[in-house]
Amino acid sequence: MEWTLAVLAFLLGSFIGSFLNVVIYRLPRGLSVVWPRSSCPQCGRTLSPAELVPILSWVAQGGRCRGCQAPISPRYPLVEALTASLFAAAALLRPSFPELILIWALIALLIALAFIDIDTKTLPNSLNFGGVFLGLGAAYSLGYPRAFPEALEAGLMGAGLMALLAGYGGLLYNRLKDSPREGPFGVHLVHLAAMGGAWGGMWGNVGGTWLGSLGLLLGLLNAALNLRSGRVWALHDGLTLGLAALAPLAALGLGLSPLGSLRGMLLSAGGLALVGMLYWWARQPSDKVEPEEEPQSGYVSVMGYGDVVLAGFLGVWLGFPNLLVALFLAVLAGALLGLIARRFGGSNQMPFGPYLAVGGLVAFFYGEDLLGWYLAYLGVG
């Protein structure tokens, strides 16, 4: 029975992979993913049903269009085969319904995000937030992949962790230069929220955990002030990030909660980052990728905020401990590929999104086992 389900999952996954090829090609171009029917990108000829059979059509045609004989990228059958294989593997590992359907949706979203990021160096908000809302909806209605409070907290903390890695990394890389001031929501508000959350969160063992949301409130009030005044009011990044980093140390010295401080920092930064990204997405709903403009301020971002939302997406599905496993695996994979590329005289130009997607899938199925093994190795598991 399990192998029958796996075979059916493979067939389903191959057709889903064929659709993902359409999404990967059309979504960054601002085109509809459902209409018109698929056509050859070279000659524009509409493909017949026989030419749309996943994997087999490409093999039968020798990797060329039947009309103009233009070569068809082997990535098309690769995406179909990858999706089919992962669907089948999920069916063997987690064969229960309706959970398996949700897992298939997770796999499809991550494959689409990874390949779009490879092509365009962007992660579409529609897919990113689709994963966030799908995970939260499943958690609320089914208690899967985890209870709703845990899923929400892990999503916010995941986004906060990635936003702060980008913030501190950018501050150091740009030699303490401030990030560009964008209103009403900007990176500076995330840093302000992190500072407020860090100092409020340390009092969790005295005044309740709600104090950890102080930073989110500060950020939203700052955004409201920016909207009301029509200008951007902001503290320097060095000040807000410096005070945020100081808070856990102060909590330790005062006998308060350094873990509460860290938790408040991540929750507030993540909440403000996701709210800000939702705001800008509402301002520009299209996922069409526009040509990049040279940064006028001279500030170089070390990480895009699409990665921040992706970390929130994975946090909802994985939980925060498993998200840390996913992040470690992503960094490890990126470092290994970078060393291999350098060994053969190349350079690793792949963005971080695909590594995070791979790490997320591995952590979803094996994160607890890997974390348990590592803690046992350290002698604390």
Provide the residue ranges of all domains of the chain, joining segments of one domain with +.
Answer: 1-95, 176-273
Residue 63: what pLDDT? 87
Give the per-residue pLDDT at 207: 46
Q: For position 342, what pLDDT does the model report?
A: 79
Amino acid 297: pLDDT: 66
Cα–Cα distance measured from residue 210 to residue 204, given in angstroms and rounded to the nearest whole number: 7
Spans of the chain below 50 pLDDT: 206-208
- pLDDT for position 17: 97
pLDDT at residue number 341: 77
pLDDT at 347: 65
* pLDDT for res 208: 47
Task: Check: pTM over 0.85? Answer yes or no.
Answer: yes
pLDDT at 51: 82
| Model pLDDT for residues 188-219, shown as the tens digit of each residue | 999 999 999 999 998 865 444 566 688 999 99
Of residues 136, 132, 194, the one with CA closest to residue 163? 194
CB 113 within 8 A of CB 124: yes
**Which pLDDT does position 214 carry in this prediction?**
85
Whats the size of the chain, residue-wise? 381
- pLDDT at position 47: 83
